[in-house]
Amino acid sequence: MQLTNKIHFRNLRGDIFGGVTAAVIALPMALAFGVASGAGAAAGLWGAVLVGFFAALFGGTPTLISEPTGPMTVIMTAVIANLTASNPDNGMAMAFTVVMMAGIFQIIFGALRLGKYITMMPYTVISGFMSGIGIILAILQLAPFLGQASPKGGVIGTLQAIPELLANIQPIETLLAAITVAIIWFMPSKFKRIVPPQLIALIAGTVLSLVLFQGVEIRRIGEISASLPTMQLPTFEVSQLRLMFVDAAVLGMLGCIDALLTSVVADSLTRTEHNSNKELIGQGLGNLMSGLFGGIAGAGATMGTVVNIQAGGRTALSGLTRAFVLLIVILGAAKLAATIPLAVLAGIALKVGIDIIDWDFLKRAHKISLKGALIMYGVILLTVLVDLIVAVGVGVFVANILTIDRMSQLRSESVKAITDADDAIHLNADEKRWLDEGNGRVLLFQLSGPMIFGVAKAISREHNAIGECGAIVFDISNVPHMGVTASLALENAIEEAVENGRHVFLVGAAGQTKRRLEKLKVFNFIPPQNLYMIREEALKDAVNAVFSGKHEPSNEPSNGPISDFGASLNN
């Protein structure tokens, strides 16, 4: 695996223009997310620089733009609030340590090649989770939107404090926040293509606060250091280590999902294919370096990535250019950011929260699937009111249980047992003839398709329904995979048939199915000469076994029993 992203200069103009455009969009977002997280505007800016630079250099998606995002900011806010509440002196340093740990988790995920599994969860869960995060981000902006400091207690604390917040509303700051949202929301599309509305809103809101409200006390960002950040050594306390570990795992996993989903968007726009495992390593290195130098966590950002591609970016040079431009802005124009009103940043973050909510799926989920809609609504409620891990865990569990139940029902239809020729199983003329001559004493027990554990119940049901018969032909010719539970159910059916003195014939054991049955020692119950690859021969000899003397046994060695079964059992 190549360590760094492929960079060439054949698309130099497009990459530079894409990087500069992405940097313009990243600036107001980084400021807003930094302030919203509680770490400060500088932490948001350095997170945008460091995550963006290292993810672009070492990631697996050339056009991906990585920076603090809405979902990551929500988790970061909770991490900072919990750690600073329990340890006011070292809480912030411990929060940056959590970012480093999250990066290490992501590197481990990439090294273990788990990239393709990260996003393998039902869309109803992803939609509910992301919508829940959007709602959380919007709720957390209510206090600064109304010109006040955020109350303690996160979402629940903010909701409980709404009457008090409304009673103490600061009209000027609320007006600035409302103007910010209005500019972003109603700016004509033709202008959005030229300049990002977030930047216009940031500049307009700041200028209005300085020109029209000079004598009014407005909460602002304050001075940002125009120097390189100092290294934040890992800090932790044994009593908080478990909490930090869980927070880092959640932050790292969400970053993986966020980045890889955005990588899929980038692939669709550029007609390329990203390297998911390499991308996770790049994201991990970015977050590790961000936490090490006092930046908040980040991930692949859909807005920045799409803008980068539309502006001409095609290689990792665009992401590196964006990081370099932001670095120049921080070092050369940080003092200008001191006058930006916090209410303006709250308006920007509020609009991001609203945009994260999956409105399109919310409107039609109940029309597509009522169960899916209930799962989505449940995940939203759990995400907002309980816990992110609980929301995803419960959502995935319920969705998978419903899926397994449905698949089991469908696969159960492939478990059939017949004693006469009918339409339940497709038979050729000779097979029908032999089954009819069995006169109800020969049972054909057919399995087809993948036999997952949910099918074991159907195997047992058909097996229990077996009446009086002298021979059973188990046909597994069309079973490409047999799970452990289904294999045990088949073993039980074969063993009981043998114990009841019935002749047992097995057709079509091969590949994984054969190996699984060999490990279970199922073939110990069946004579080697009763193992077949052709169903017709098995039915013919089953009839001969039941009506001894009435039919001559088959003498065709080439198409009959599988001779190597007996040999393999004797070795």
* pLDDT above 70: residue 559: no
- The dihedral sign for the CA sequence 79, 80, 81, 86: positive
Amino acid of residue 498: V
Report whether 488 contacts 459 (CB < 8 A).
no
Instruction: Please tell me the distance from the alpha carbon of residue 25 to that of residue 338, in angstroms, as a whole number.
Output: 19
In terms of C-beta density within 10 A (0-12 exposed, 13-18 middle, 19 or more buried), how is residue 194 classed? exposed
Report whether 177 contacts 198 (CB < 8 A).
no
- Which of residues 53 and 501 earns the better pLDDT score? 53
Report whether 277 contacts 115 (CB < 8 A).
yes
* pLDDT above 60: residue 215: yes
Q: What is the pLDDT of residue 109?
A: 96
Which residue shows structure tokens 């992803």? 126
Q: Give the pLDDT mean for 92-120.
A: 92
List the one residue out of 561, 426, 434, 449 whose CA is nearest residue 507.
Answer: 561
As a whole number, the mean pLDDT across the chain is 87
* pLDDT above 60: residue 252: yes
pTM (two decimals): 0.78
Contacts of 380 (CB under 8 A, 6+ apart): 128, 131, 132, 135, 391
Q: Could you tell me the CA-to-CA distances from 409 to 414, 415, 422, 423 in Å, in that order?
A: 9, 10, 22, 20
Q: What is the pLDDT of residue 137?
A: 92
Longest Cα–Cα distance in the chain: 112
Confidence of residue 450 (pLDDT cuts 50, 70, 90): confident
Q: What is the pLDDT of residue 423?
A: 59
Q: Give the pLDDT mean for 159-186.
A: 95
Q: Give the pLDDT mean for 184-192.
A: 88
Report whether 17 contacts 311 (CB < 8 A).
yes
- The dihedral sign for the CA sequence 419, 420, 425, 426: positive
Q: Which has the minimum average pLDDT: 116-125, 155-164, 323-332? A: 116-125
Helix ranges, 413-473 (H): 429-437, 456-464
Contacts of 300 (CB under 8 A, 6+ apart): 55, 61, 64, 65, 66, 69, 258, 259, 260, 261, 262, 263, 266, 279, 283
Helix (H) and strand (E) counts for the chain? 26, 7
Rounded to 5 degrees, what angle do the CA atoms 297, 300, 302 make? 130
* pLDDT above 80: residue 509: yes
List the one residue out of 504, 443, 455, 502 whose CA is nearest residue 481.
Answer: 455
Q: Could you tell me the CA-to-CA distances from 427 to 80, 422, 434, 551, 560 in Å, in that order?
A: 68, 8, 10, 21, 18
Distance separating the N- and C-terminal Cα atoms of the chain: 43
Confidence of residue 506 (pLDDT cuts 50, 70, 90): very high
* pLDDT above 50: residue 554: no
Which residue shows structure tokens 């500088």? 42
342-359 per-position pLDDT tens digit:
999 999 999 999 998 999
Give exposure, 241-275, as e/b (b: 16+ Cβ within 10 Å): eebbeebbebbbbbbbbbbbbbbebbeeebeeebb
* pLDDT above 80: residue 221: yes
* Token couple for 415: 């478990």
Report whether 285 contacts 55 (CB < 8 A).
yes
Q: What is the pLDDT of residue 3?
A: 66
Rounded to 5 degrees, what angle do the CA atoms 114, 274, 59 make? 75
3-class state of residue 229 by DSSP: coil
Q: Which has the minimum average pLDDT: 153-157, 448-452, 524-528? A: 448-452
Domain layout of the chain by residue ranges: 21-353, 362-412, 414-570
CATH number of 414-570: 3.30.750.24
Q: What is the pLDDT of residue 552?
A: 42
Contacts of 456 (CB under 8 A, 6+ apart): 485, 486, 488, 489
Q: What is the pLDDT of residue 553?
A: 40
Q: Could you tell me the CA-to-CA distances from 280 to 231, 309, 526 in Å, in that order?
A: 23, 21, 51
DSSP string, 143-197: HHHTTSPPPSSHHHHHHHTHHHHHHT--HHHHHHHHHHHHHHHHS-HHHHTTS-H
Confidence of residue 558 (pLDDT cuts 50, 70, 90): very low
* pLDDT above 50: residue 568: no
Q: Work out the percent of the chain whose per-residue pLDDT is above 70.
A: 93
Q: Give the pLDDT mean for 195-210.
A: 91
Q: Give the pLDDT mean for 15-43.
A: 92
